[in-house]
Amino acid sequence: MNIAVFASHGGSDLQAIIDGCKNNQINARVSVVISNNGNSMALQRAEAEGIPAYHLSANKSGNEEALATEILDILAKYNVEMIFLAGYMRMLHISVLEKYNNRIFNIHPALLPKFGGKGMHGMNVHTAVIKAKESETGVTIHRVNAEYDSGEIVAQTTVPVLKNDTPEILAARVLDREYEFLVEVIGDIVNGYKVSDKNGTLLCTNIKGIDRSGYHIPISQYGDGIETILTKEQYQANCYKVGGEEC
């Protein structure tokens, strides 16, 4: 599977994904990296790994529509099947969201739906978690839609908040888990398995063969964690979202 990674700054999550692919933890490859920041470390990391890297922005393209066209052209050029937003500080244009519906994922350094939305990124999130006196925080990987941090939650993992934590200390603890977790979850998505909730409970299974990142079936019907190949009609008839809600 060809993955495009979008990143705006340091690219440490990008590096974790690249390393996961190289170590065969993720059965895929990062085929292209896109950043809206020409000075981002993410672009430098990509170039160091021999991965095509592009600085694309509305300022360079002229407007949002032109930017979206450029993005789609590049994604098509590298036969991208999945997009992962690894610290990408822009909302994607609706044309990109529609083209890659259900195949765009984002990582967020908290347990959504708490501490999400516009402006909730980086240290702002960890400061808010501490201010709210939460006993735990974590990492969420979710599908991307037209609203900040509101897409379907794919997987979550928890990280404790300790008594004397500062935002910086908490951020470092979350980031340590984040690197491992995103590799685990992307590996599961690529392999066609639906993963777990924040407590590690397997919610449902994503079936290979039709849309590896779209439909799900309930475990109770087809077995805990067992991959089942369905026809298109069976697939659609047994389509479930996380938690067992019908699609």
Residue 232: Cβ within 10 Å count: 11
State yes or no: is 121 an active-site residue.
no
Residue 105 exposed, middle or buried by CB count within 10 Å (0-12, 13-18, 19+): buried
CB 161 within 8 A of CB 129: yes
CB 121 within 8 A of CB 149: no
Residue 69: Cβ within 10 Å count: 15
Q: Locate tokens 């890297």: which residue?
A: 53
Q: Which two tokens stand for residue 78?
A: 């590298």
Task: Give me the catalytic one of 108, 121, 142, 216.
Answer: 108
Q: What is the C-alpha to C-alpha distance for residues 4 and 223, in angstroms, rounded to an integer?
A: 32
Which strands sit side by side in the sheet containing 82-85, from one edge to the other?
Answer: 53-55, 29-35, 2-6, 82-85, 104-108, 136-143, 153-160
Catalytic residue list: 108
